[in-house]
């Protein structure tokens, strides 16, 4: 369980570039195998995943407690489905970067700095993927905070710059929300996701 120590507006947050650079020499995990930004446990997380030539980029709402070599059940499911669907790696990204096991504990108002740096992290991953596949996996929790929908819309715009292909896994939920990875069968296949139609309905 992770409960934020404070509203993210009142904690130290480094830029994505600063955190990424520091993560390359961080202790506690193999940075040649893992991408983990920041490179230590903090109240926010930009990226967590494995390095490879053909990653799937999975997008949840916000990070919880997972770390390299200590994945939670959601990340274990993400890893299984990534490999089953033919990808050699995965990167877990989130609509909002604040750690909170319970989405209701997220910031009541968006932290613009944290959001902007999170979008830089998203663009970094896309720019290093030859054929970027983005797996929408945030469930209906996108309704938890009003700013989350705006974050998703911005991510779609960034994805268009890199010709990102959007997919989902499992049956779509009410109002077209993509299924959360937890409890999906390990042989669930990715399906094309009409992200523009979805976001227009939000």
Average pLDDT, the chain: 95
Q: How far from 62 is each of 66, 98, 104, CA to CA, in Å?
A: 11, 6, 11
Q: How far apart are CA 187 and CA 202, in angstroms?
A: 29
Residue 4 pLDDT exceeds 90: no
Average pLDDT for 65-71: 96
pLDDT tens, residue by residue, 81-138: 999 999 999 999 999 999 998 888 999 999 999 999 999 999 999 999 888 999 999 9
Q: What is the pLDDT of residue 201?
A: 85
Q: How confident is the model at residue 56 (pLDDT cuts 50, 70, 90)?
A: very high
pLDDT tens, residue by residue, 155-188: 999 999 999 999 999 999 988 999 999 989 999 9
With CA atoms as reference, report the closest residue to 29 among 56, 48, 53, 5.
Answer: 48
User: What pTM does this model have?
Assistant: 0.95
DSSP state string for 111-140: -HHHHHHHHHHHHHHHHT-TT-EEEE--GG
% pLDDT > 70, the chain: 100
Q: What is the pLDDT of residue 73?
A: 95
Q: Which residues contact 85 (CB under 8 A, 6 or more apart)?
A: 56, 189, 190
- 124: tokens are 């970094």
- 62: tokens are 């916000």
Q: What is the pLDDT of residue 84?
A: 98
Average pLDDT for 9-15: 95
DSSP state string for 7-64: -GGGS----HHHHHHHHTT-SSS-TTTEEEESSS--SB-SEEEE--SSEEEEEESS--
Q: What is the pLDDT of residue 106?
A: 95
């Amino acid at each position: 369980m992770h409960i934020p120590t404070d509203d993210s507006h009142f904690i130290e947050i480094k830029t994505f570039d600063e955190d990424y650079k520091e993560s390359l020499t961080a202790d506690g995990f193999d940075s040649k195998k893992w991408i983990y930004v920041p490179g230590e446990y903090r109240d926010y997380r930009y990226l967590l995943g494995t390095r490879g030539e053909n990653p799937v980029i999975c997008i949840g709402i916000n990070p919880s407690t997972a770390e390299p070599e200590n994945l939670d059940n959601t990340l274990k499911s993400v890893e299984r489905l990534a490999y089953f669907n033919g990808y050699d790696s995965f990167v877990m990204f989130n609509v909002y970067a604040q750690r909170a096991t319970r989405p209701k504990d997220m910031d009541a108002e968006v932290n613009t700095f944290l959001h902007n740096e999170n979008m830089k992290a998203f663009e970094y991953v896309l720019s290093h993927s030859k054929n970027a596949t983005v797996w929408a996996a945030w469930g209906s929790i996108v309704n938890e905070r009003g700013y989350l929908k705006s974050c998703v819309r911005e991510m779609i715009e960034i994805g268009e710059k890199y010709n990102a292909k959007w997919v989902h896994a499992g049956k779509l939920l009410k109002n077209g929300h993509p299924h959360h990875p937890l409890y999906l069968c390990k042989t669930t296949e990715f399906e094309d996701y009409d992200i523009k139609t979805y976001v227009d309905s939000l």
